């Protein structure tokens, strides 16, 4: 139900141009520390993009990140991300130069997106470089950037400092189709 409200937010804006959306976008992250690394993937990312004004929105159900080890997933959800209190992460922003992307012409466009990312109850203004790939079937949003856990009040206990890094490499790959 919350996802439906998310997409109706675009309709409420009265947008006449094409809106692209997905409920199955992908975000992965890798955390590399002194004693090794671990990664997780989330294929339940909800994303939307307005071709008219360059508005971009993401909602990430944090408990949908999948780890190779079940215990690691439990620690991530309960001890670090506290998903019972903060079930979603989100981003709301705009393309810095939306006019540089021709949504009617297939191609790859380098972009920057500027907006607010909210995670673990903390909102922070960020600017992320990325790509928009326009194809006959829709658009794909791609980005790679780092997030500091400390920026979002995600505490890493001292006894885990050698196995969990403050810096997390995030990769976004979301294929969006036109909203019908």
pLDDT on residue 13:
41
The domain segmentation of the chain, as residue ranges, is 2-178
pLDDT on residue 162:
81
The whole-angstrom separation of Cα 143 and Cα 93 is 14
* pLDDT beneath 70, residues of the chain: 1-17
Q: Using CA atoms in the order 119, 120, 121, 122, what is the torsion angle rounded to 10 degrees?
A: -60
pLDDT on residue 36:
83
Question: Cα separations (Å) of 75 from 9, 80, 143, 156, 157?
Answer: 33, 7, 26, 11, 12
Instruction: Give the number of other Cβ atoms within 10 Å of residue 109's Cβ.
Output: 17
pLDDT on residue 137:
95
CATH number of 2-178: 2.40.128.110
pLDDT on residue 4:
41
pLDDT on residue 17:
63
Write the pLDDT tens digit of every residue in 70-87.
988 998 999 899 999 999
């Amino acid at each position: 139900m919350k996802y439906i409200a998310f997409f109706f937010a675009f309709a409420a804006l009265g947008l006449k141009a094409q809106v692209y959306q997905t409920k199955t976008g992908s975000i992965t992250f890798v955390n590399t520390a002194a004693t090794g690394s671990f990664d997780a993937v989330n294929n339940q990312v909800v994303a939307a993009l307005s071709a008219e004004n360059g508005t971009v929105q993401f909602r990430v159900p944090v408990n949908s990140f999948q780890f190779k080890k079940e215990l690691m997933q439990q620690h991530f959800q309960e001890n670090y991300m506290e998903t019972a209190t903060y079930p979603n992460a989100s981003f709301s922003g705009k393309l810095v130069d939306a006019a540089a992307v021709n949504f009617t012409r297939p191609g790859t466009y380098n972009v920057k997106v500027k907006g607010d990312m909210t995670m673990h109850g903390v909102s922070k203004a960020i600017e992320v470089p990325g790509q928009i790939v326009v194809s006959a079937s829709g658009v794909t949003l791609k980005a790679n950037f780092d997030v500091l856990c400390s920026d979002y009040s995600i505490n890493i206990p001292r006894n885990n400092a050698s196995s969990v890094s403050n810096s997390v490499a995030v990769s976004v790959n979301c294929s969006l189709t036109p909203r019908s």
